[in-house]
Amino acid sequence: MSAGEAVAGPDGAPRCPWALSTADYVTYHDEEWGRAVHGDDALYERLSLEAFQSGLSWITILRRRPGFRTAFAGFEIAKVADFTDEDRERLLADTGIIRNRAKIDATIANARALAEWAPGDLDELIWSHAPDPAGRPVPGNLADVPAVTPESTALSKALKKRGLRFVGPTTAYALMQACGLVNDHLAACVARDSPSGGAPSGGA
């Protein structure tokens, strides 16, 4: 077996090797990652969490997700857009989230920008950048999985053009992977053939 190929999990089924370091990762990999997510609020949540993840491990964010959801009013765009200076200070003192001033400010600013969009615009914009799966080779190992693609670069530019922050091409591609716009489960992974179904599409 080459480095980076699918590895047998606790149940013997092969999985992407990154998914096997913790039980939290196994659940996330099997039930969420790569499954289609739709809805403006749900996509805003994923975009925000991917931005908070920048420079950190995803497990750090995953384990704090309940805290993030509580702190950011369930990531309802309309509610976060109405956050006040007092809310900002509350977030900066909240040990249940990542207390990064720039990322907190961006999350609030993004909600305010998105509140001006028509309903469904975020969903439509993000999904309009999904590449044709027929033109994508199936990754055999982790070395075959890109960190940035032309589509993620275009998505990043489109989001920035409409006023969003902390949405660089790498963050945009992580969003595309997590929300099912691309299928980056490895060829031998047990979740490869079922990433689009099974989990609710409106959120985690």
CATH number at residue 114: 1.10.340.30
pTM of this structure: 0.92
> How remote is the C-alpha of 29 from its chain's centroid?
12
C-alpha to C-alpha distance for 204 and 201, rounded to whole angstroms:
8
Distance of CA 187 to the CA centre of its chain: 21
| 192 located within any domain | no
CB crowding 133-157: b at 16 or more within 10 Å, else e: eeeeeebebbeebeeebebbbebbe
Q: Is residue 159 part of a domain?
A: yes
Instruction: Report residue 152 CA to chain centroid gap.
Output: 13
Is 179 known to sit in a ligand binding site?
A: no
Q: How many structural domains does the chain have? A: 1
The answer to whether residue 107 sits within a structural domain is: yes
pLDDT at position 120 is 98
| CB-CB contact of 40 with 121 (8 Å) | yes
Q: Is residue 98 part of a domain?
A: yes
Whether the Cβ atoms of residue 96 and residue 79 lie closer than 8 Å to each other: no
- Show pLDDT as tens, one digit a residue, over the chain (204 residues): 455 899 998 899 999 999 999 999 999 999 999 999 999 999 999 999 999 999 999 999 999 999 999 999 999 999 999 999 999 999 999 999 999 999 999 999 999 999 999 999 999 999 999 999 888 999 999 999 999 999 999 999 999 999 999 999 999 999 999 999 999 999 999 999 865 533 333 333
Q: Which residues are catalytic?
A: 28, 50, 58
Does residue 14 belong to any structural domain of this protein?
A: no
Instruction: Determine, yes or no, domain membership for 4.
Output: no
Give the per-residue pLDDT at 2: 54
In a domain, 31, yes or no: no
Task: Note whether residue 188 is domain-resident.
Answer: no
d(CA 131, CA 147): 15
As a whole number of angstroms, the distance between CA 184 and CA 113 comes to 30
Which helix H or strand E contains 8, and what residues bound it? strand 7-8
Closest to 51 in 3D by CA, of 172, 176, 203 = 172
CA-based radius of gyration for the chain: 17
Amino acid at position 98, single letter: I
For residue 119, what are the CA distances in angstroms to 28, 40, 56, 113, 172?
A: 28, 7, 32, 12, 21
Distant-in-sequence contacts of 85-93, Cβ < 8 A, 24+ apart:
none
* 117, 120, 126, 128 alpha-carbon torsion, rounded to 10°: -110
Is residue 185 marked as binding? yes
